Amino acid sequence: MLNCRNPSRDGMKRPLLVADAYASVAHSKCRQGAAMAKVITEMTVGVDVSDKHTYFCCVDQAGEVVRQAKVPTTDAGIRKALSKVKAPARVVLEAGTHSPWMSRLIESLGHETIVADPRRLKIISQSATKNDWNDAELLARLGRADLKLLKPIFHRTERAAADLRVLKVRGALVKSRTLLINSVRGLTKSHGARLKACAPERFHVIARESLPKELATGVEPLLKAIEDLTAQIAEQDRSLEAMVAAFPDAQRLDAVYGVGPVTALTFILTLDDKERFKSSRSVGQFVGLCPRQDQSGDSDKQLHISKAGDTQLRSLLVSSAQTILRKNAPDSDLKRWGTSLASRGGKNAKKRAAVAVARKLAVLLHRLWVTGEAYEPLHAGKAA
């Protein structure tokens, strides 16, 4: 049941029935239980989402709040809240855990959906009168202004989200295995012993052979968990091989040295639509590998990268860049350029070079994806 309030009486709250949750402007002062005579037209709706409840605020063309409503954060609750709003209305919500499925649902109801970047909503997070009702109203009013102020984000399709879920599950398994391996190594060092370097897939075997008997018994539960995680990761890898066969573009990106099938698939599924960027250079900023800016007058600070966008994709790109910059890696334009940056010296020069190569790698992968060209490691040298 909708939990609504009437904003037409100087902020006085009172419960309303479902029928009069969203009255027309002409009937904005309808009494409790009155039937809905008209539907709302040309409306901007602000949506403040939480895990249990979602708050709606309808603002008309004149900037007046028509109705506010509180519904459960469920498919049925959202449908009921928007059932009396005549499409197409502009619905503005903040990016978050529930925004992917909720934005797809709202679009299916015929409304224009704007998913705002939370980094652009300091006016809400730093408000002196912050509450769920006011947050929804502010989102609606921001939606009536220039939409570029909200920097709307693009949610991938449901198919891409389902495929990407397989990669994220594998990433979580790998992260868990790494944490357990580090724990075993730390416990071994505190005992005065040391385990030799080895591939993560063989760590549980090497550890059981190398650990002292009195220590091996204590860490056996960790080794058993590592062994189980390794088996699950291998199963996920087999699933990814089948996925790569269904994505010819991923096979083309996989031809770049340092970019494996996991990175290629994550790149394609995260961006989802290769035509969404006007320029391939924008991809570097999209994945958060471009430096932040803080310039005013003569002051222009050198800041770290923004780290916006998908964390997993950014981590994979940096890992691929580090592989490209290895001494035994084959020669390429990316390696030459990154090595030149790293040779300039200075603190953390190699790390900064890896991030710079990762940014160029993201641009290169998008360009190969758009044009369909084959990868040439020494394309710039060939042209020269």
Q: What is the pLDDT of residues 103-155, one digit of tens each?
A: 999 999 999 999 998 888 888 888 888 899 999 999 999 988 888 888 888 88
Find tokens 């790109």 and name the residue. 317
**pLDDT (mean) for 14-38:** 33
Q: Name residue 169's beta-bridge partners.
A: none
Does the pLDDT value for residue 379 go beyond 90?
A: no
State the Cα angle at 306 between 302 and 312, rounded to 5°.
Answer: 140
Q: Which residue has the higher pLDDT, 7 or 173?
A: 173
Asked whether the predicted pLDDT for residue 9 surpasses 60, the reply is: no
- Dihedral through CA 33, CA 34, CA 37, CA 43, nearest 10? -60
Give the CA distances from residue 63 to residues 30, 140, 225, 238, in Å, rounded to whole numbers and listed in that order. Answer: 19, 9, 58, 55
The tokens for 17 are 């029935």
Mean pLDDT of 266-284: 89
253: which residues sit within 8 A by CB, 6+ positions away?
259, 263, 264, 267, 268, 365, 368, 369
Residue 48 has pLDDT above 90, yes or no: yes
What is the phi-psi region of residue 33: left when phi exceeds 0, alpha when psi lies from -120 to 50, beta otherwise? left
Q: Rounded to the nearest 10 degrees, how much is the dihedral formed by the CA atoms of 200, 205, 206, 209? A: 160
Assess contact for 150 and 117: CB atoms under 8 A.
yes
Most confident of 27-31, 46-50, 141-145: 46-50
Which pLDDT belongs to residue 217? Answer: 85
Confidence of residue 383 (pLDDT cuts 50, 70, 90): low
pLDDT (average), residues 243-253: 86
